[in-house]
Amino acid sequence: MEQTGDPIVIEKIHKSFADQKVLNGITLRVSAGETVAVLGRSGTGKSVLLKVMIRLLPIDSGSVSIAGEEINALDEDELYQIRKKVGFLFQQAALYDSLTVRENVAFPLARHAKKMNVAERYRQVRELLASVEMDRDLDKLPSQISGGMQKRVGLARALVLNPEVLLFDEPTAGLDPITANEISNLILELKKKRKMTAVVVTHDVRATRLFADRLVFLHEGKVIAEGTFSDLQKSRDQFVRRFLTENNS
Amino acid sequence: MCKTNESLAELTGSIHNARDDWTRSCLAVIRNLVVSPFEWFGELGLFCARLFRAAITRPYQVAELLHQCDEIGSKSLPLVALAGAATGIVLSLQTRASLIQFGAKSLLPSVIVFSIIKESGPVITALVVSGRVGAGIGAELGSMKVTEQIDAMEASAVDPFRYLAATRVLACILMLPLLTVASNFSGIFMGWIATTLAEPISLRLFLLDGCKDALFSDFIPPTLKTAVFGLIIGIVACFQGMRTKGGTAGVGRSATSSVVLASLFVILADVILVRLILTIWG
């Protein structure tokens, strides 16, 4: 693989489930500090693309390099070291339902920052939850808060280890327009403050205008177009133009 | 003539399609019957290898292990004690009449004590725990799997095998012998109550009579074999839970299969372990 120094380098990856080909030779590079939005119809392999980036799913062929490491060549311990550098916000937040909001965010810290005492850990957790406006519900269980609040807590958990790379799976899906806008603004704020590299899988075209430096379109497991929002508005591909217009009204 | 030919071609096509469908169905049935069990055991082997590695290497999840010991041990205690008590009462009621018939009424305390400590106590405890804990672990991990909580744990660089599976399996191994002791105690005590209600006998005399021929080798191996039952229950329930697919229906399937398979393997393991204990201790 060509060494570029980009934190995310994906080359010609293929992934199938039984007879169904989901990713069909995708190549994608994301530079440091860049936010890339991955768009496409449901079932085109966008979430799978995110999961193969940290080897939550194995690929059939190709290569994925995160923070300069080819992740498919790593053993389990080395893989966990790389995963510490990546924050992942899941589509349904995936909060641990037996833990409170505070414990959910403290969970990775408790396991990876063992020298930090409990008081310091909870101070950091509170600060982080305050930054996503969730510091008033510290002792609530995930089932006692709304979907939008769960996404905020999920975001705080993704950020707690100060990752170099952030992966967002449909951060605004299933939320009302106001909450969706608040989440988009949070991502924008993160981008400005932390200058993090991020890949955002989304259907929310309006949100991508707000925070994405580049848009990548997936269709039938392949990248069919990529560029800035204004570039793609002028795309010759009718599907891309239609997707941008119909989802941006 | 042309129309007849078309109909004939259509009919032939339908027959070919039906034959293909039938062949595919047959192959699917053969696959399910022959290949799937091998796949299941293969995946179980890989799961056990990863679990073993997670259990013996650092960092150890001591706090979570203690939490699971509480969940599996102390919360199963009332149910296990109740099952043990019922066994003791039933043994007393059922064997009393038979022993009177053969003029061996004085053996009743020994029969109750030996039946409970050697077989009924360990097996009933294991079956009760496989029902309560097996279903619980299968459903909990299954639900974590389908809601991506296990993926989230992996993404946070925390090994779910270490944090979720190893702690539960170890807790099952540690708690089963202790629960068996509690169940034995409860069974013997309630056996005495049932016996003394029919014909008064002091607890001291009942225990002296019951335990006069008992050796440590009658008590220790059967109690310790439940650690193997704990291993089986823990592994099967964690494995079924962590491979759950298909939403809430899948969670239900995992919970059910955890209980069924764990109970089945406990009974099969009991046959082997009893033979082994008899070979070693006679």
Q: Which chain A residues touch B144 with a CB distance below 8 Å? A: 96-97
Across all residues in chain A, what is the average pLDDT?
88
Mean pLDDT throughout A31-54?
Answer: 91
Residue A4: pLDDT band with limits 50, 70, 90? low
Residue A245 CA: distances (Å) to CA of A54, A230, A232, A240, B263? 32, 12, 11, 9, 58
Among A86, A94, A108, whose Cβ lies nearest the Cβ of B158? A108
Q: Which chain B residues touch A201 with a CB distance below 8 Å? A: none
Q: Which chain A residues touch B151 with a CB distance below 8 Å? A: 51, 56, 90, 94
> Is pLDDT of B70 > 90?
yes
Residue A210: pLDDT band with limits 50, 70, 90? confident
Query: Do the chains contact at A111 and B147, CB–CB below 8 Å?
Result: no
Neighbour order of strands in the sheet with A69-70: A20-30, A8-17, A61-66, A69-70
The larger pLDDT score, comparing residue B12 to residue A166, is at: A166
For residues A185 and A228, the answer to whether their CB atoms sit within 8 Å is no
Helix (H) or strand (E) holding A227: strand A222-227
Among B149, B151, B158, whose Cβ lies nearest the Cβ of A56? B151
DSSP at A10? E
Residues contacting residue A234 through CB under 8 Å, at least 6 positions apart: none
B250-276 pLDDT, tens per residue?
999 999 999 999 999 999 999 999 999
Residue B17's pLDDT is what? 80
For residues B181 and B223, the answer to whether their CB atoms sit within 8 Å is yes
**Could you give phi then psi for residue B268, rounded to 5 degrees?**
-65, -40
Q: How many Å lie between the alpha carbon of B145 and the closest alpha carbon of chain A?
A: 10
The larger pLDDT score, comparing residue B140 to residue B12, is at: B140
pTM of this prediction?
0.86
Name the maximum alpha-carbon separation found in chain A: 57
For chain B, give the number of residues: 282
Residue of B nearest to A88 (CA): B155
| Lowest mean pLDDT segment, chosen from B121-125, B182-186, B198-202, B210-214 | B210-214
Q: Which chain B residues touch A111 with a CB distance below 8 Å? A: 59, 156-158, 163
Q: Which of A130, A133, A140, A131 is nearest to A102 (CA)?
A: A140
- How far is it, in rounded angstroms, from Cα A204 to Cα B110? 75
Mean pLDDT throughout B73-77?
Answer: 93
- How far is it, in rounded angstroms, from Cα B31 to Cα B38? 10
- Pairing type for strands A86-89 and A214-219 reads unpaired
A95-132 pLDDT, tens per residue?
999 999 999 999 999 888 878 888 898 999 999 899 88
Query: Do the chains contact at A107 and B156, CB–CB below 8 Å?
Result: yes
Three-state secondary-structure class, residue B127: helix
Q: Which residue has the tokens 């699917």?
A: B28
Q: Which residue has the tokens 């966008």?
A: A46
**Range of A1-10, A45-54, B212-221 with top mean pLDDT:** A45-54
- A234 burial type by CB count under 10 A (0-12 exposed, 13-18 middle, 19+ buried): exposed
Q: Tell how far CA A38 is from the center of its chain.
A: 10
Residue A167's pLDDT is what? 94
Query: Do the chains contact at B148 and A92, CB–CB below 8 Å?
Result: yes
User: Between B216-242 and B135-146, two packed helices, what is the crossing angle to 10 degrees?
Assistant: 20
The larger pLDDT score, comparing residue B13 to residue B161, is at: B161
- How far is it, in rounded angstroms, from Cα B250 to Cα B245? 5
Query: Do the chains contact at A95 and B59, CB–CB below 8 Å?
Result: no
> Is pLDDT of B2 > 80?
no
Residue B276's pLDDT is what? 92
